[in-house]
Structure 1
Amino acid sequence: MGMEIERKWMVQGWPEGYPLRKEEEMRQGYVSVRPTVRIREEKLRVSGEGAPLKDEFILCFKSKGRLSRKEIEFPIEEARFRELEDLIGLPLIPKLRRTYLLPDGHQLEVNHVDEGAPTEFWYAEVEFRSEDEARAFDPASVGLGAYLTDDVTEQPGQSMGAYWTATRLQQA
């Protein structure tokens, strides 16, 4: 079991001037949002690291929390993913994620969610090794002071699980 420690910002568009590490097309859905049990299909489309382009199917469990939470994530076979997708029975959430390398060595993950839908939005995340490091991070120190202005890390209702509930479960 790992610990996920990350900050989250609402943003508009892709940042400019940072090396692109990878681009992934994703679709994700939730078996449960309390606790979080998520499936995700990840299609790697661009890799600045020379990694082969491939598709992965992931099952993830997350504890409650905002800045940090426990996370168990592992690959599953495509057939198992399709069974879980069928069990969920709702349209999965499409996301396009671009991961950029920051000057301090961190990675910035920027996500465009539900493109073309009335509810589409953008958000960015940076993962950290500790809560202290996360709290000390200043976007201006890596040239993102004007881009990462709307920090929603500690705000309730800002998770993808909450978005799933609002746009999939309550619409069903």
Structure 2
Amino acid sequence: MEIERKWMVNGWPEGEGFPALPLKEEFAMRQGYISVHPTVRIREEALRGGRTDYILCFKSGGGLAREEIERPIDKALFEDLETKIIAKPLIPKIRRSYLLPDGLVLEVNHVDEGQPTEFWYAEVEYPTVEQARAWDPASCQLAAYLSDDVTGQPGQSMGEYWVKTRL
């Protein structure tokens, strides 16, 4: 089960006006969709200065909580799915993960950098639905940054972005 909230944001949460958030990790990613309803996605995740993983992901449901199954796959299968099944440009994104004072992790994504459709979004995953509903960005001095909560809003998923920009 994946329990997360999502916000549209502008840029990384760094610099003047932001609390000092320790950077946990940064990934360069590419992802594409075999299916959007239900979600069947592949993603390449290259950790800055480290390994590259290839993931096959299945998701069902929507909103705050949904079922998610992720499994590692090898590079050859990833490439076959990318070129023979998807056959469209994958979505590039940079994800930075920041440690929050309360132990949660803020993931900020810059999608399709340099394209007319580029955008930024942030997510926080939670252990329970109750914690997700109760969590207040002000508790981490991020109320202004995380002011545009789009959790569960139609058209705000990466799958919907794929449909708008790749199909």
TM-score (norm 1): 0.92
Which of 109, 134, 137 aligns to 2:132? It is 134
Rounded Cα–Cα distance in structure 2 between residues aligned with 1:143 and 1:103: 10
Counterpart of 2:63 in structure 1 is 66
Gaps of 5+ in 2: 15-19
Counterpart amino acid of 1:130? T
Cα shift readout 1:77-110 (whole Å, capped 9, x = no counterpart): 0000000001100000000000000000000000
SS at match of 1:56: strand
Structure 2 equivalent of residue 76 of structure 1:
73
After superposition, where does 1:18-167 map in structure 2 within 5 Å?
18-45=21-48, 53-86=50-83, 87-167=85-165
Superposed counterparts of 1:5-20, under 5 Å: 5-16=3-14, 17-20=20-23
**Alignment identity in percent?**
69
Paired positions, count: 161
Q: CA deviation at 1:125?
A: 0.1
RMSD of the TM alignment (CA)?
0.6
Within 1, Cα distance between the matches of 2:69 and 2:134? 26
Paired AA for residue 23 in structure 1: E
CA distance in 2, matches of 1:28, 1:64: 19
Residue 17 of structure 2: aligned partner: none
* Distance (whole Å) between structure 1 residues aligned to residue 79 and residue 63 of structure 2: 29
Gaps in structure 1 of 5+ consecutive residues: 47-52
Partner Cα separation in structure 1 for residue 152 and residue 56 of structure 2: 25
* 4+ residue runs over 3 A deviation: none
Taking the aligned partners of 1:118 and 1:130, their CA distance within structure 2 comes to 36
For residues 27-70 of structure 1, what are the alpha-carbon distances to aligned partners after superposition, in whole Å with 9 as ceiling and x for unaligned?
A: 00000000000000000005xxxxxx100000000002110100
Paired with 1:63 and 1:18, the residues of 2 have a C-alpha distance of: 32
Q: 1:49 aligns to what?
A: none
Cα displacement (A) at 1:154: 2.2
Query: How far did 1:168 drift?
Result: 0.2
Q: Secondary structure at the match of 2:138?
A: helix
Report the Cα distance in structure 1 between the residues aligned to 2:11 and 2:155, rounded to whole angstroms: 21
Paired with 1:142 and 1:132, the residues of 2 have a C-alpha distance of 18
**Equivalent-residue separation in structure 2 for 1:64 and 1:156 (angstroms):** 12
TM-score (norm 2): 0.95
Q: What amino acid sits opposite 1:59 in the alignment?
A: L
